[in-house]
Chains A and B, each alone.
Chain A
Amino acid sequence: MAKHKTPLLDQLESGPWPSFVSDIKQEAEHRHANPDGIEYQIPVDVCDDLLGLLEMSYEDGETHWKHGGIVGVFGYGGGVIGRYCDQPQKFPGVAHFHTVRVAQPAGKYYSTEYLRKLMDLWDFRGSGLTNMHGATGDLVWLGTTTPQLEEIFWTLTHDLNTDLGGSGSNLRTPASCLGQSRCEYACYDTQSLNYAMTLEYQDELHRPAFPYKFKFKFDGCPNGCVASIARSDFSVIGTWKDDIKIDHDAVMGYVKGEFAPNAGAHSGRDWGKFDIEKEVVALCPTGCMSWDGSKLSIDNKECYRCMHCINTMPRALHIGDERGASIFVGAKAPILDGAQMGSLLVPFVPVEDPYDEVKEVVENLWDWWMEEGKNRERIGETIRRMSFQKMLEVTGIKADPRHVQEPRTNPYIFWKEEDVTGGWERDINEFRKRHQR
Protein backbone atom coordinates (compact mmCIF):
# COMPACT_ATOMS: atom_id res chain seq x y z
CA MET A 1 0.00 0.00 0.00
CA ALA A 2 1.56 3.30 -1.10
CA LYS A 3 2.41 5.75 1.65
CA HIS A 4 1.08 8.75 -0.28
CA LYS A 5 -1.73 8.99 -2.81
CA THR A 6 -0.26 10.15 -6.11
CA PRO A 7 -3.03 10.40 -8.73
CA LEU A 8 -1.17 12.94 -10.89
CA LEU A 9 1.98 10.85 -10.98
CA ASP A 10 -0.04 7.68 -11.59
CA GLN A 11 -1.35 9.23 -14.76
CA LEU A 12 2.20 9.51 -16.07
CA GLU A 13 2.37 5.73 -16.03
CA SER A 14 -0.58 5.36 -18.39
CA GLY A 15 1.32 6.10 -21.63
CA PRO A 16 3.06 3.45 -23.73
CA TRP A 17 6.55 4.62 -22.75
CA PRO A 18 8.59 3.50 -19.74
CA SER A 19 7.85 5.68 -16.74
CA PHE A 20 10.20 6.98 -14.04
CA VAL A 21 7.18 6.88 -11.70
CA SER A 22 6.90 3.11 -12.13
CA ASP A 23 10.65 2.81 -11.54
CA ILE A 24 10.50 4.75 -8.28
CA LYS A 25 7.45 2.77 -7.10
CA GLN A 26 9.27 -0.45 -7.87
CA GLU A 27 12.27 0.67 -5.83
CA ALA A 28 9.99 1.79 -2.97
CA GLU A 29 8.47 -1.68 -2.81
CA HIS A 30 11.84 -3.31 -3.05
CA ARG A 31 13.18 -1.28 -0.12
CA HIS A 32 10.23 -2.23 2.07
CA ALA A 33 10.52 -5.91 1.14
CA ASN A 34 14.33 -5.76 1.71
CA PRO A 35 15.01 -9.29 0.45
CA ASP A 36 18.76 -8.93 1.05
CA GLY A 37 18.40 -7.78 4.66
CA ILE A 38 20.27 -4.50 4.10
CA GLU A 39 20.75 -2.27 7.16
CA TYR A 40 19.52 0.89 5.48
CA GLN A 41 21.42 3.99 6.57
CA ILE A 42 18.83 6.45 5.30
CA PRO A 43 15.03 6.31 5.78
CA VAL A 44 13.44 3.21 4.30
CA ASP A 45 10.62 5.29 2.83
CA VAL A 46 12.86 7.70 0.90
CA CYS A 47 11.29 6.62 -2.40
CA ASP A 48 7.72 6.93 -1.06
CA ASP A 49 8.42 10.43 0.21
CA LEU A 50 10.06 11.36 -3.08
CA LEU A 51 6.84 10.43 -4.88
CA GLY A 52 4.77 12.28 -2.27
CA LEU A 53 6.85 15.44 -2.59
CA LEU A 54 6.71 15.31 -6.37
CA GLU A 55 2.91 14.90 -6.29
CA MET A 56 2.71 17.96 -4.05
CA SER A 57 4.85 19.94 -6.52
CA TYR A 58 2.48 18.95 -9.33
CA GLU A 59 -0.53 20.05 -7.26
CA ASP A 60 1.08 23.36 -6.33
CA GLY A 61 2.73 24.01 -9.67
CA GLU A 62 6.01 24.85 -7.94
CA THR A 63 9.04 22.99 -6.74
CA HIS A 64 9.52 21.98 -3.13
CA TRP A 65 13.27 21.59 -3.44
CA LYS A 66 15.39 24.35 -2.01
CA HIS A 67 18.01 25.77 -4.33
CA GLY A 68 21.43 24.14 -3.90
CA GLY A 69 23.23 23.81 -0.64
CA ILE A 70 26.38 23.47 1.38
CA VAL A 71 27.37 19.84 1.22
CA GLY A 72 30.32 18.09 -0.20
CA VAL A 73 33.10 15.91 0.96
CA PHE A 74 35.96 17.55 2.74
CA GLY A 75 38.19 19.54 0.39
CA TYR A 76 36.09 18.88 -2.71
CA GLY A 77 34.01 21.65 -4.23
CA GLY A 78 32.16 19.34 -6.57
CA GLY A 79 30.79 15.84 -6.91
CA VAL A 80 27.98 16.28 -4.42
CA ILE A 81 24.98 18.53 -4.95
CA GLY A 82 23.00 19.46 -1.89
CA ARG A 83 19.26 18.96 -2.17
CA TYR A 84 16.94 19.79 0.71
CA CYS A 85 13.16 19.73 0.57
CA ASP A 86 11.13 22.56 2.07
CA GLN A 87 8.48 20.23 3.59
CA PRO A 88 10.68 18.01 5.80
CA GLN A 89 7.94 17.35 8.40
CA LYS A 90 5.58 15.90 5.82
CA PHE A 91 8.28 14.09 3.86
CA PRO A 92 11.08 13.25 6.32
CA GLY A 93 12.47 10.59 3.96
CA VAL A 94 13.63 13.34 1.58
CA ALA A 95 14.50 16.07 4.11
CA HIS A 96 17.99 15.59 2.65
CA PHE A 97 18.12 14.19 -0.84
CA HIS A 98 21.63 14.92 -2.04
CA THR A 99 22.95 13.94 -5.43
CA VAL A 100 26.30 12.18 -5.73
CA ARG A 101 28.15 12.23 -9.04
CA VAL A 102 30.39 9.24 -9.50
CA ALA A 103 33.09 9.42 -12.17
CA GLN A 104 32.40 6.95 -14.96
CA PRO A 105 35.23 4.84 -16.33
CA ALA A 106 36.67 5.96 -19.70
CA GLY A 107 34.51 4.56 -22.50
CA LYS A 108 31.99 3.46 -19.84
CA TYR A 109 33.42 -0.02 -19.46
CA TYR A 110 32.09 -1.82 -16.41
CA SER A 111 32.19 -5.34 -15.19
CA THR A 112 28.97 -6.65 -13.67
CA GLU A 113 30.93 -7.30 -10.50
CA TYR A 114 31.85 -3.63 -10.28
CA LEU A 115 28.27 -2.52 -10.97
CA ARG A 116 27.01 -4.81 -8.21
CA LYS A 117 29.52 -3.36 -5.76
CA LEU A 118 28.44 0.15 -6.66
CA MET A 119 24.81 -0.76 -6.12
CA ASP A 120 25.54 -2.54 -2.83
CA LEU A 121 27.03 0.70 -1.55
CA TRP A 122 24.19 2.82 -2.89
CA ASP A 123 21.42 0.55 -1.55
CA PHE A 124 23.13 0.62 1.84
CA ARG A 125 23.84 4.35 2.10
CA GLY A 126 21.44 5.94 -0.38
CA SER A 127 18.04 5.65 -1.99
CA GLY A 128 19.02 3.02 -4.56
CA LEU A 129 17.81 5.39 -7.29
CA THR A 130 20.27 6.20 -10.06
CA ASN A 131 20.44 8.03 -13.32
CA MET A 132 22.80 6.24 -15.65
CA HIS A 133 24.27 8.33 -17.02
CA GLY A 134 23.96 12.09 -16.56
CA ALA A 135 24.57 14.38 -19.54
CA THR A 136 28.20 14.84 -18.52
CA GLY A 137 28.62 11.08 -18.41
CA ASP A 138 28.79 10.44 -14.67
CA LEU A 139 26.80 7.83 -12.85
CA VAL A 140 24.35 9.98 -10.93
CA TRP A 141 23.16 8.76 -7.55
CA LEU A 142 19.94 10.39 -6.44
CA GLY A 143 19.21 10.91 -2.78
CA THR A 144 21.20 10.48 0.38
CA THR A 145 21.69 12.34 3.66
CA THR A 146 24.60 14.52 4.78
CA PRO A 147 26.13 12.04 7.31
CA GLN A 148 26.43 9.40 4.54
CA LEU A 149 28.57 11.51 2.22
CA GLU A 150 32.00 11.00 3.75
CA GLU A 151 31.24 7.29 4.23
CA ILE A 152 30.29 6.91 0.59
CA PHE A 153 33.38 8.81 -0.49
CA TRP A 154 35.64 6.60 1.66
CA THR A 155 34.25 3.37 0.27
CA LEU A 156 34.26 4.62 -3.32
CA THR A 157 37.87 5.75 -3.20
CA HIS A 158 39.29 2.99 -1.01
CA ASP A 159 37.36 -0.12 -1.99
CA LEU A 160 36.11 0.67 -5.48
CA ASN A 161 39.03 2.76 -6.73
CA THR A 162 36.57 5.33 -8.03
CA ASP A 163 36.50 9.10 -7.61
CA LEU A 164 33.67 11.58 -7.44
CA GLY A 165 32.94 13.44 -10.66
CA GLY A 166 32.74 17.17 -11.26
CA SER A 167 29.87 19.56 -10.65
CA GLY A 168 29.45 23.30 -10.22
CA SER A 169 31.94 25.78 -11.65
CA ASN A 170 34.69 23.31 -12.27
CA LEU A 171 36.02 20.90 -14.82
CA ARG A 172 33.36 18.25 -15.29
CA THR A 173 34.14 14.57 -15.48
CA PRO A 174 35.88 14.11 -18.84
CA ALA A 175 34.19 11.67 -21.23
CA SER A 176 35.48 9.68 -24.17
CA CYS A 177 34.19 7.21 -26.71
CA LEU A 178 35.47 3.65 -26.44
CA GLY A 179 38.02 4.47 -29.13
CA GLN A 180 40.82 2.10 -30.05
CA SER A 181 39.68 -0.48 -27.52
CA ARG A 182 37.04 -1.67 -29.96
CA CYS A 183 36.66 0.72 -32.84
CA GLU A 184 38.66 0.62 -36.06
CA TYR A 185 37.71 4.26 -36.83
CA ALA A 186 39.55 5.68 -33.82
CA CYS A 187 42.27 8.09 -34.95
CA TYR A 188 43.82 8.32 -31.49
CA ASP A 189 43.57 6.59 -28.14
CA THR A 190 40.62 8.44 -26.63
CA GLN A 191 40.62 6.53 -23.37
CA SER A 192 44.29 7.21 -22.79
CA LEU A 193 43.87 10.96 -23.43
CA ASN A 194 40.78 10.99 -21.20
CA TYR A 195 42.71 9.34 -18.40
CA ALA A 196 45.76 11.58 -18.79
CA MET A 197 43.68 14.77 -18.79
CA THR A 198 41.68 13.58 -15.76
CA LEU A 199 44.86 12.99 -13.77
CA GLU A 200 46.54 16.18 -14.94
CA TYR A 201 43.60 18.40 -14.03
CA GLN A 202 42.53 16.98 -10.66
CA ASP A 203 42.66 20.41 -9.08
CA GLU A 204 40.32 21.86 -11.72
CA LEU A 205 37.98 18.87 -11.35
CA HIS A 206 37.60 19.06 -7.59
CA ARG A 207 38.25 22.71 -6.67
CA PRO A 208 35.98 25.03 -8.60
CA ALA A 209 37.47 28.34 -9.71
CA PHE A 210 36.04 28.78 -13.18
CA PRO A 211 33.31 31.27 -14.10
CA TYR A 212 31.05 28.29 -14.91
CA LYS A 213 31.21 24.64 -15.88
CA PHE A 214 33.81 23.35 -18.38
CA LYS A 215 33.56 20.03 -20.20
CA PHE A 216 36.12 17.97 -22.06
CA LYS A 217 34.93 15.27 -24.42
CA PHE A 218 37.05 13.07 -26.64
CA ASP A 219 35.73 11.49 -29.83
CA GLY A 220 38.01 9.15 -31.73
CA CYS A 221 36.59 10.12 -35.12
CA PRO A 222 34.00 12.44 -36.64
CA ASN A 223 31.20 9.95 -35.96
CA GLY A 224 31.21 11.62 -32.56
CA CYS A 225 29.86 8.90 -30.28
CA VAL A 226 30.17 11.18 -27.23
CA ALA A 227 28.84 14.14 -29.25
CA SER A 228 31.78 16.26 -28.19
CA ILE A 229 31.19 18.91 -30.84
CA ALA A 230 27.74 19.67 -29.45
CA ARG A 231 28.23 19.04 -25.77
CA SER A 232 31.69 20.04 -24.62
CA ASP A 233 33.52 23.31 -24.16
CA PHE A 234 36.68 21.57 -25.36
CA SER A 235 36.13 18.88 -27.92
CA VAL A 236 38.87 16.72 -29.40
CA ILE A 237 37.80 14.84 -32.54
CA GLY A 238 40.02 12.34 -34.30
CA THR A 239 40.92 13.00 -37.92
CA TRP A 240 43.62 12.19 -40.46
CA LYS A 241 45.73 14.12 -42.95
CA ASP A 242 46.45 11.68 -45.76
CA ASP A 243 44.11 9.77 -48.06
CA ILE A 244 41.24 7.45 -47.23
CA LYS A 245 42.55 3.96 -47.90
CA ILE A 246 40.58 2.16 -50.61
CA ASP A 247 40.50 -1.61 -51.08
CA HIS A 248 39.13 -1.78 -54.62
CA ASP A 249 38.32 -5.49 -54.49
CA ALA A 250 36.21 -4.93 -51.39
CA VAL A 251 34.41 -2.01 -53.06
CA MET A 252 33.50 -4.44 -55.86
CA GLY A 253 32.38 -6.90 -53.18
CA TYR A 254 29.87 -4.36 -51.86
CA VAL A 255 28.67 -3.55 -55.39
CA LYS A 256 28.12 -7.26 -56.09
CA GLY A 257 26.26 -7.69 -52.81
CA GLU A 258 28.90 -9.90 -51.17
CA PHE A 259 29.06 -7.65 -48.08
CA ALA A 260 26.17 -6.01 -46.29
CA PRO A 261 26.51 -2.19 -46.35
CA ASN A 262 26.95 -0.48 -42.96
CA ALA A 263 28.15 -3.83 -41.64
CA GLY A 264 24.56 -5.01 -41.66
CA ALA A 265 23.31 -2.26 -39.35
CA HIS A 266 20.23 -1.55 -41.51
CA SER A 267 19.31 -5.16 -42.20
CA GLY A 268 15.96 -4.98 -40.36
CA ARG A 269 14.23 -4.09 -43.61
CA ASP A 270 14.77 -4.85 -47.30
CA TRP A 271 16.27 -1.70 -48.83
CA GLY A 272 16.80 -3.36 -52.21
CA LYS A 273 20.11 -3.92 -53.97
CA PHE A 274 23.05 -1.81 -52.76
CA ASP A 275 23.55 1.15 -55.09
CA ILE A 276 27.00 2.70 -54.66
CA GLU A 277 26.07 5.76 -56.78
CA LYS A 278 23.00 6.57 -54.78
CA GLU A 279 24.03 5.45 -51.32
CA VAL A 280 27.64 6.56 -51.24
CA VAL A 281 28.79 8.85 -54.05
CA ALA A 282 25.67 11.02 -54.19
CA LEU A 283 25.56 11.42 -50.42
CA CYS A 284 29.14 12.63 -50.08
CA PRO A 285 28.62 16.18 -48.75
CA THR A 286 31.54 17.62 -50.69
CA GLY A 287 30.87 15.74 -53.92
CA CYS A 288 34.48 14.59 -53.94
CA MET A 289 33.80 10.94 -54.84
CA SER A 290 33.23 9.36 -58.20
CA TRP A 291 32.38 5.89 -59.49
CA ASP A 292 32.97 4.94 -63.11
CA GLY A 293 31.24 1.59 -62.94
CA SER A 294 34.36 -0.29 -61.90
CA LYS A 295 36.53 2.05 -59.85
CA LEU A 296 35.87 4.37 -56.92
CA SER A 297 37.96 7.54 -56.67
CA ILE A 298 38.16 10.17 -53.95
CA ASP A 299 39.54 13.67 -54.35
CA ASN A 300 40.95 13.64 -50.83
CA LYS A 301 41.85 17.31 -50.58
CA GLU A 302 38.13 18.14 -50.80
CA CYS A 303 37.05 15.50 -48.29
CA TYR A 304 35.53 16.73 -45.01
CA ARG A 305 36.18 13.47 -43.15
CA CYS A 306 32.42 13.20 -42.57
CA MET A 307 32.77 9.38 -42.27
CA HIS A 308 29.73 8.60 -44.41
CA CYS A 309 31.50 6.53 -47.06
CA ILE A 310 33.62 4.71 -44.48
CA ASN A 311 30.57 3.90 -42.34
CA THR A 312 28.77 2.53 -45.38
CA MET A 313 31.62 0.36 -46.70
CA PRO A 314 33.87 -0.28 -43.68
CA ARG A 315 35.53 -3.28 -45.29
CA ALA A 316 36.55 -1.30 -48.37
CA LEU A 317 37.40 2.14 -46.99
CA HIS A 318 39.59 2.97 -44.05
CA ILE A 319 40.72 6.10 -42.25
CA GLY A 320 44.14 7.46 -43.28
CA ASP A 321 47.45 6.62 -41.61
CA GLU A 322 48.60 10.10 -40.60
CA ARG A 323 46.29 10.44 -37.63
CA GLY A 324 45.64 13.03 -34.99
CA ALA A 325 42.74 15.25 -33.97
CA SER A 326 41.03 18.58 -34.45
CA ILE A 327 40.16 20.73 -31.42
CA PHE A 328 36.85 22.57 -31.23
CA VAL A 329 35.96 25.08 -28.53
CA GLY A 330 32.78 26.54 -27.12
CA ALA A 331 29.86 24.14 -27.52
CA LYS A 332 27.07 24.38 -24.97
CA ALA A 333 23.42 23.60 -24.35
CA PRO A 334 20.91 26.44 -24.57
CA ILE A 335 21.00 28.36 -21.28
CA LEU A 336 21.80 31.74 -22.83
CA ASP A 337 21.48 32.52 -26.55
CA GLY A 338 20.48 29.00 -27.59
CA ALA A 339 22.58 25.96 -28.27
CA GLN A 340 25.98 26.39 -29.85
CA MET A 341 28.30 23.96 -31.59
CA GLY A 342 32.03 24.04 -31.05
CA SER A 343 34.16 26.21 -33.36
CA LEU A 344 37.30 24.80 -34.95
CA LEU A 345 40.36 26.16 -33.15
CA VAL A 346 43.17 23.73 -34.02
CA PRO A 347 42.74 21.99 -37.39
CA PHE A 348 45.25 19.23 -36.66
CA VAL A 349 47.19 18.24 -33.60
CA PRO A 350 49.16 15.06 -33.03
CA VAL A 351 47.62 13.22 -30.07
CA GLU A 352 50.46 11.41 -28.40
CA ASP A 353 51.42 10.77 -24.82
CA PRO A 354 52.18 13.02 -22.84
CA TYR A 355 49.70 15.13 -24.84
CA ASP A 356 51.56 18.40 -24.30
CA GLU A 357 50.11 20.00 -27.44
CA VAL A 358 46.57 19.44 -26.20
CA LYS A 359 47.33 20.58 -22.64
CA GLU A 360 48.94 23.79 -23.83
CA VAL A 361 45.79 24.83 -25.71
CA VAL A 362 43.57 24.07 -22.71
CA GLU A 363 45.71 25.99 -20.25
CA ASN A 364 45.89 29.11 -22.43
CA LEU A 365 42.11 29.05 -22.79
CA TRP A 366 41.59 28.68 -19.06
CA ASP A 367 43.98 31.50 -18.15
CA TRP A 368 42.04 33.81 -20.43
CA TRP A 369 38.54 32.67 -19.45
CA MET A 370 39.30 32.75 -15.70
CA GLU A 371 40.40 36.39 -16.02
CA GLU A 372 37.86 37.63 -18.56
CA GLY A 373 34.84 35.34 -18.27
CA LYS A 374 31.78 36.72 -16.50
CA ASN A 375 30.10 34.73 -13.76
CA ARG A 376 27.99 31.93 -15.23
CA GLU A 377 29.42 32.50 -18.69
CA ARG A 378 30.52 29.43 -20.68
CA ILE A 379 33.70 29.85 -22.70
CA GLY A 380 31.64 29.73 -25.92
CA GLU A 381 29.81 32.84 -24.74
CA THR A 382 33.07 34.57 -23.79
CA ILE A 383 34.32 33.87 -27.32
CA ARG A 384 31.18 35.36 -28.83
CA ARG A 385 31.38 38.41 -26.58
CA MET A 386 35.09 39.06 -27.06
CA SER A 387 35.58 37.61 -30.57
CA PHE A 388 37.18 34.54 -32.07
CA GLN A 389 40.15 36.71 -32.98
CA LYS A 390 40.77 37.42 -29.30
CA MET A 391 40.78 33.69 -28.59
CA LEU A 392 43.35 33.17 -31.36
CA GLU A 393 45.49 35.84 -29.73
CA VAL A 394 45.40 34.33 -26.25
CA THR A 395 46.11 30.83 -27.51
CA GLY A 396 48.86 32.05 -29.84
CA ILE A 397 47.23 30.28 -32.79
CA LYS A 398 47.57 31.89 -36.21
CA ALA A 399 44.39 32.64 -38.13
CA ASP A 400 43.84 30.08 -40.86
CA PRO A 401 41.28 29.83 -43.70
CA ARG A 402 39.85 26.77 -41.95
CA HIS A 403 38.69 29.04 -39.11
CA VAL A 404 36.38 30.82 -41.53
CA GLN A 405 32.91 29.47 -42.01
CA GLU A 406 31.78 31.65 -44.90
CA PRO A 407 33.01 34.63 -46.91
CA ARG A 408 32.89 37.99 -45.16
CA THR A 409 29.61 39.89 -45.21
CA ASN A 410 31.03 43.04 -43.61
CA PRO A 411 32.97 45.14 -46.19
CA TYR A 412 35.04 46.98 -43.56
CA ILE A 413 38.29 45.76 -42.10
CA PHE A 414 39.89 47.43 -39.12
CA TRP A 415 43.58 46.69 -39.11
CA LYS A 416 45.78 46.72 -36.08
CA GLU A 417 49.04 48.65 -36.33
CA GLU A 418 51.17 45.54 -35.86
CA ASP A 419 49.39 43.84 -38.75
CA VAL A 420 50.35 46.56 -41.25
CA THR A 421 53.83 46.69 -42.79
CA GLY A 422 55.47 49.91 -41.59
CA GLY A 423 52.75 50.57 -39.00
CA TRP A 424 50.90 53.91 -38.90
CA GLU A 425 54.06 56.04 -39.12
CA ARG A 426 55.00 57.49 -42.48
CA ASP A 427 57.87 59.57 -43.68
CA ILE A 428 56.16 62.83 -44.66
CA ASN A 429 59.00 63.90 -46.95
CA GLU A 430 58.84 60.62 -48.84
CA PHE A 431 55.06 61.03 -49.06
CA ARG A 432 55.34 64.62 -50.39
CA LYS A 433 57.64 63.44 -53.18
CA ARG A 434 54.67 61.58 -54.56
CA HIS A 435 51.74 63.76 -53.44
CA GLN A 436 51.38 67.54 -53.75
CA ARG A 437 49.97 69.60 -50.92
Chain B
Amino acid sequence: MAIDMSTAKQQVVDFCNSKSKTKFYFNDFLKVFPDEKARDVKKVLTALVQEEVLEFWSSGSTTMYGLKGAGKQAHSEGED
Protein backbone atom coordinates (compact mmCIF):
# COMPACT_ATOMS: atom_id res chain seq x y z
CA MET B 1 0.00 0.00 0.00
CA ALA B 2 1.03 3.53 -0.67
CA ILE B 3 1.00 4.92 2.86
CA ASP B 4 2.97 3.88 5.85
CA MET B 5 1.35 1.51 8.38
CA SER B 6 1.86 3.61 11.48
CA THR B 7 0.49 6.76 9.80
CA ALA B 8 -2.48 4.76 8.60
CA LYS B 9 -3.16 3.39 12.08
CA GLN B 10 -3.11 6.90 13.51
CA GLN B 11 -5.52 8.07 10.80
CA VAL B 12 -7.96 5.32 11.78
CA VAL B 13 -7.79 6.27 15.46
CA ASP B 14 -8.19 9.98 14.65
CA PHE B 15 -11.17 9.19 12.43
CA CYS B 16 -12.90 7.21 15.21
CA ASN B 17 -12.23 10.00 17.72
CA SER B 18 -13.55 12.67 15.37
CA LYS B 19 -17.03 11.13 15.18
CA SER B 20 -19.79 11.18 17.74
CA LYS B 21 -20.76 7.58 16.99
CA THR B 22 -18.65 4.78 18.35
CA LYS B 23 -19.22 1.91 15.91
CA PHE B 24 -18.22 1.95 12.27
CA TYR B 25 -18.84 -0.21 9.25
CA PHE B 26 -15.81 -1.45 7.36
CA ASN B 27 -16.90 0.79 4.46
CA ASP B 28 -16.55 3.89 6.61
CA PHE B 29 -12.79 3.30 6.74
CA LEU B 30 -12.54 2.96 2.96
CA LYS B 31 -13.53 6.65 2.81
CA VAL B 32 -10.60 7.53 5.07
CA PHE B 33 -8.27 5.96 2.50
CA PRO B 34 -9.90 6.68 -0.87
CA ASP B 35 -6.81 5.63 -2.83
CA GLU B 36 -6.17 2.34 -1.06
CA LYS B 37 -7.49 -1.10 -1.91
CA ALA B 38 -10.07 -2.54 0.49
CA ARG B 39 -7.74 -5.44 1.28
CA ASP B 40 -4.97 -3.04 2.38
CA VAL B 41 -7.34 -1.06 4.59
CA LYS B 42 -8.35 -4.36 6.15
CA LYS B 43 -4.72 -5.04 7.05
CA VAL B 44 -4.56 -1.77 9.00
CA LEU B 45 -7.76 -2.59 10.89
CA THR B 46 -6.62 -6.16 11.60
CA ALA B 47 -3.34 -4.84 13.04
CA LEU B 48 -5.28 -2.45 15.30
CA VAL B 49 -7.51 -5.29 16.50
CA GLN B 50 -4.42 -7.40 17.26
CA GLU B 51 -3.00 -4.50 19.26
CA GLU B 52 -6.32 -4.21 21.12
CA VAL B 53 -6.84 -0.62 19.99
CA LEU B 54 -9.96 -1.55 18.03
CA GLU B 55 -12.55 -4.20 18.81
CA PHE B 56 -15.35 -5.86 16.93
CA TRP B 57 -19.03 -5.36 17.68
CA SER B 58 -21.45 -7.85 16.18
CA SER B 59 -25.20 -8.21 15.99
CA GLY B 60 -24.74 -11.71 14.65
CA SER B 61 -25.56 -10.67 11.10
CA THR B 62 -23.43 -7.54 10.75
CA THR B 63 -20.08 -6.61 12.23
CA MET B 64 -18.76 -3.16 13.10
CA TYR B 65 -15.45 -1.82 14.37
CA GLY B 66 -14.95 0.60 17.27
CA LEU B 67 -12.27 1.83 19.65
CA LYS B 68 -11.93 -0.64 22.50
CA GLY B 69 -14.32 0.18 25.31
CA ALA B 70 -15.99 3.07 23.48
CA GLY B 71 -19.76 3.46 23.54
CA LYS B 72 -20.46 0.05 25.09
CA GLN B 73 -23.98 -1.05 24.32
CA ALA B 74 -25.67 2.37 24.04
CA HIS B 75 -25.28 2.64 20.27
CA SER B 76 -27.11 -0.54 19.48
CA GLU B 77 -30.05 0.48 21.61
CA GLY B 78 -30.25 3.81 19.81
CA GLU B 79 -29.36 5.95 22.80
CA ASP B 80 -26.43 7.88 21.37
Residues of A within 8 A of B (CB): 66-70, 72, 75, 77-78, 80-82, 84, 99, 167-170, 203, 207-213, 367, 370-371, 373-376
Q: Flag if A77 contacts B49 (CB, 8 Å).
A: yes
> A208–B41 Cα gap in the complex (Å)?
12
> A50–B43 Cα gap in the complex (Å)?
40
Q: A67-B76, A371-B38 are in contact. Are A77 and B56 (CB under 8 A)?
A: yes
User: A residues within 8 A CB of B72?
Assistant: 70
Q: Flag if A68 contacts B26 (CB, 8 Å).
A: no
Q: Flag if A375 contacts B25 (CB, 8 Å).
A: yes
User: A residues within 8 A CB of B49?
Assistant: 75, 77, 207
The total of Cβ contacts below 8 Å across the A-B interface reads: 91
Q: A167-B60, A168-B58 are in contact. Are A69 and B73 (CB under 8 A)?
A: yes
Q: A167-B58, A169-B63 are in contact. Are A208 and B26 (CB under 8 A)?
A: yes
Q: A66-B77, A69-B73, A376-B62 are in contact. Are A169 and B55 (CB under 8 A)?
A: no
Q: Flag if A371 contacts B60 (CB, 8 Å).
A: no
Q: Flag if A169 contacts B26 (CB, 8 Å).
A: yes
User: A residues within 8 A CB of B41?
Assistant: 209
Judge if B46 is at the interface, Cβ distance under 8 Å. yes
Interchain CB contact (< 8 A) of B56 among A168, A210, A367: A168
Q: Flag if A213 contacts B61 (CB, 8 Å).
A: yes
> In the complex, what's the smallest C-beta–C-beta distance from A342 to chain B, in angstroms?
20
> A416–B45 Cα gap in the complex (Å)?
39
> A69–B41 Cα gap in the complex (Å)?
24
Q: Flag if B58 contacts A211 (CB, 8 Å).
A: no
Q: Flag if A67 contacts B42 (CB, 8 Å).
A: no
Q: Flag if A375 contacts B27 (CB, 8 Å).
A: yes
> A141–B41 Cα gap in the complex (Å)?
32
> A168–B77 Cα gap in the complex (Å)?
18
Q: Flag if A211 contacts B27 (CB, 8 Å).
A: yes
Q: A67-B76, A67-B77, A70-B55 are in contact. Are A210 and B26 (CB under 8 A)?
A: yes
> A200–B57 Cα gap in the complex (Å)?
25
User: B residues within 8 A CB of A374?
Assistant: 27
Per-position 1/0 for B10-43, Cβ under 8 A of A: 0000000000000001110010000001110110
> A75–B55 Cα gap in the complex (Å)?
9
Judge if B50 is at the interface, Cβ distance under 8 Å. yes
User: B residues within 8 A CB of A66?
Assistant: 73, 76-77
Q: Flag if A68 contacts B58 (CB, 8 Å).
A: yes
Q: Flag if B56 contacts A72 (CB, 8 Å).
A: yes
Taking A70-B66, A211-B27, A371-B30 as known contacts, 6 extra A-B pairs with beta carbons closer than 8 A to each other, sorted by chain A number, are A68-B58, A77-B56, A77-B58, A210-B26, A367-B39, A375-B27
> A82–B59 Cα gap in the complex (Å)?
7
Q: Flag if A209 contacts B60 (CB, 8 Å).
A: no
> A82–B37 Cα gap in the complex (Å)?
30
Interchain CB contact (< 8 A) of B73 among A84, A207, A375: A84
> In the complex, what's the smallest C-beta–C-beta distance from A87 to chain B, in angstroms?
14
Interchain CB contact (< 8 A) of A370 among B38, B73, B77: B38
> A37–B50 Cα gap in the complex (Å)?
38
Q: A210-B26, A375-B25, A376-B62 are in contact. Are A75 and B38 (CB under 8 A)?
A: no
> A224–B57 Cα gap in the complex (Å)?
34
Q: A84-B73, A371-B38 are in contact. Are A68 and B56 (CB under 8 A)?
A: no
> A72–B49 Cα gap in the complex (Å)?
12
> A367–B53 Cα gap in the complex (Å)?
26
Q: A211-B26, A370-B38 are in contact. Are A81 and B46 (CB under 8 A)?
A: no
> A207–B50 Cα gap in the complex (Å)?
11
User: A residues within 8 A CB of B56?
Assistant: 70, 72, 77, 168, 208
Q: A75-B50, A77-B63 are in contact. Are A207 and B42 (CB under 8 A)?
A: yes
Q: Flag if A209 contacts B77 (CB, 8 Å).
A: no
> In the complex, what's the smallest C-beta–C-beta distance from A325 to chain B, in angstroms?
26
